[in-house]
Amino acid sequence: MERNILMGIDMGTTSLRVGFYDKDGKNYGFCAVDYELIHPHNTWVEQRAGDWILALSSAVKEGMDRFHIRKEQILGLSIGSTCCSVVVCDRNGKTHRNCIMWMDIRAAREAEEIAGLTGEHLSAEWMPCKLLWLKKYEPEIYRKAEVFCECQDYLTWFLTGKWSVNINTACNWGYNADKKGFPSWFYDKIGLPDAIERFPTDNCYAVGDLIGTLSKTCADKLGLLPDTLVAQGGVDSSIGILGMGVYEEGRVALMTGSSNLTMLLTKKMMFSESTINEGPGHLIKGYFTSFRGQLCSNSIIEWFRREIAKEGDAEGFFAHMEEAVKKVPVGSRGLLMLDYFQGNRHPYYDTRVRGMIYGLSLEHTQEDIYRSILESISYGTENLLEQYRRAGFPVEEINISGGSTNSDVFMQIQADVSNVRINVPEDCQSVCMGAAICVTVAAGIYESLPEAVKHMVRYRKVIEPNQDNHKIYRAYFKQYQQIYPVMKEWMHKTSDLWQNGGNYENT
């Protein structure tokens, strides 16, 4: 039996998806399994690593059964996963606490402290900030930990039994692929000199490298053959770049989901808030991967459905809203929402601001508010694209993937707000597609990631901007941009009222 099926796996924030492909990019089907997010405190977000393993096993077995795929047909697999989701465990993979998820910003003050000590402006999401928080507030767990890694590396260990770092994710902790190491000066300066020795540097792999094959234990759990190949994947956003068809300079990749990421491959480094993760080759050799991101996007839509609309039937709710918001005029009858539900990643690096909505009156409807959410997310994305324009890159078209592609209304709003052409791939599960691309390179089917992308990615439609709508949105966007400088200090003080736990006299 020919081994011609490639498994591309997307380990997302709230679910794991497995896609089954052939070397030409044909998709035979997807299978998804949800898992829980845990919110112990405001802005804290955790997950159980064991839930990933259960979801992976369930999705692989269910998908193979549903699409009549035999284990003898599976050539290999690769995973795109969340980035900055920190796992603390021993060398046998036993976790000492829940994973601190990427969107967890409990380490905001540690990020500020690191900036003051080193001049490096790291996101509160990143590994060094979270480890500094861990050492301060959970010192016993920090002390006994044998491995500090990200979920990507933990999953690699589960699949192969090998501990390793992945260039694509470890760059956010300071890994330099050319020097093959981490900046000891930085970790010494921030008070974590003992962290580097616990990073899993036994092996180091780049995206598309062949790591090896499944361990016997893992193969049995997944219902696969032990000689199934395991290719190095990486950050879901980076792997999604490949799945969207971006492999050289020219187009912006927009990955939509719980958060939005805009990404661009460039020959020269575009942004330099942090120097510890400088260097090309994190995804494709010779290219820098420049990115700007929103902390919240479709997660706001899910919050509205669940907590405000109180709708349990997600499919029915979104189908209804897709039609309903078409009747709401551009600008949502004067509503303007701020998308900072978990703070702002770019351009402000500010975790002390929150979401808000302005313009409410007794005439506004649920549909008005819903459209204002879509517009707010699009304004936030446009604010990211503005960073590229100011850096000298003219943004005229973007390749898109993820949840927003399920809504023609949402994509049209984004095209109108940003005045860009939007290219929609045939397969909008770009992380699954990108992971399958990684397998083809590791297996030697294609010589390089760009070659694999050219063979496997195709497009199904193009959305052009409406110039009349763009003129209206441009005025609203200017108002959106003024919210932060005008309201920053007020938002900080108001956020501190809650963060100080009722000690209002010190705010």
The CATH number given to whatever domain includes residue 158 is 3.30.420.40
Pairing of the two strands 74-81 and 234-235: parallel
Residue 251 pLDDT greater than 90, yes or no: no
Query: Does the residue 242 lie in any domain?
Result: no
Q: Are 333 and 365 in contact (CB under 8 A)?
A: no
pTM: 0.82
Beta partners for 10? 17, 80
Q: Which of 232, 258, 286 is the last residue of a domain?
A: 232
What percent of the chain is modeled with pLDDT above 90? Answer: 77
Average of per-residue pLDDT across 95-103: 96
Query: Does the residue 332 lie in any domain?
Result: yes
Residue 402 pLDDT greater than 90, yes or no: no
User: pLDDT-based confidence at 320, cuts 50/70/90?
Assistant: very high
Q: Are residues 163 and 275 in the same domain?
A: no
pLDDT at position 255: 86
Query: Does the residue 440 lie in any domain?
Result: no
pLDDT at position 177: 78
Residue 349 pLDDT greater than 90, yes or no: no
Residue 273 pLDDT greater than 80, yes or no: no
Q: Are residues 83 and 223 in the same domain?
A: yes
User: pLDDT-based confidence at 475, cuts 50/70/90?
Assistant: very high
Question: Where would I find the beta strands (DSSP E) of 176-237?
Answer: 204-205, 210-213, 229-231, 234-235
Query: Does the residue 239 lie in any domain?
Result: no
Stretch among 268-282, 328-342, 481-495 having the lowest mean pLDDT: 268-282
What percent of the chain is modeled with pLDDT above 70? Answer: 97
Which of 131, 130, 154 is closest to 53 using CA atoms?
154
pLDDT at position 291: 83
Q: Are residues 406 and 490 in the same domain?
A: yes
Residues 6+ apart with CB under 8 A from 12: 82, 236, 257, 258, 431
Average of per-residue pLDDT across 137-158: 97
Greater confidence (503 vs 327) lies with 327
Tens of pLDDT, residue by residue over 174-220, are 988 777 889 999 999 999 999 999 999 999 999 999 999 999 999 99
Average of per-residue pLDDT across 436-450: 97
Q: Are residues 142 and 45 in the same domain?
A: yes
Average pLDDT, the chain: 93
Residue 313 pLDDT greater than 80, yes or no: yes
Tens of pLDDT, residue by residue over 47-82, are 999 999 999 999 999 999 999 999 999 999 999 999
Q: Are residues 204 and 129 in the same domain?
A: yes
Pairing of the two strands 252-256 and 260-266: antiparallel
∠118-106-491 over CA atoms, to 5°? 90
Q: Are 257 and 406 in contact (CB under 8 A)?
A: no
Q: Are residues 116 and 30 in the same domain?
A: yes
Q: Are 3 and 23 in contact (CB under 8 A)?
A: no
pLDDT at position 280: 65
Stretch among 328-332, 344-348, 367-371, 376-380 having the lowest mean pLDDT: 344-348
114-118 contacts, C-beta under 8 A, 24 or more apart: 114/190, 117/189, 117/190, 118/186, 118/189, 118/190
Q: Are residues 225 and 252 in the same domain?
A: no
User: pLDDT-based confidence at 286, cuts 50/70/90?
Assistant: confident
Query: Does the residue 287 lie in any domain?
Result: yes
The boundaries of the domain holding residue 415 are 247-434+461-507
Query: Does the residue 220 lie in any domain?
Result: yes
Beta partners for 337? 357
Count of domains for the chain: 2
Q: Are residues 162 and 304 in the same domain?
A: no
Beta partners for 95? 89
pLDDT at position 180: 82
Query: Does the residue 45 lie in any domain?
Result: yes
Q: Are residues 316 and 253 in the same domain?
A: yes
Query: Does the residue 442 lie in any domain?
Result: no
Q: Are residues 260 and 213 in the same domain?
A: no
The C-alpha torsion from 67 through 71 and 75 to 79, rounded to 10°, is 70
Q: Which of 181, 205, 232 is the last residue of a domain?
A: 232
Residue 374 pLDDT greater than 60, yes or no: yes
pLDDT at position 505: 57
Q: Are residues 124 and 174 in the same domain?
A: yes
Stretch among 116-120, 168-172, 200-204, 475-479 having the lowest mean pLDDT: 168-172
Angstrom distances, CA of residue 15 to CA of 36, 225, 245, 257: 8, 25, 23, 11
Q: Are residues 216 and 145 in the same domain?
A: yes
Q: Tell me if residue 347 falls in helix, strand or coil.
A: coil
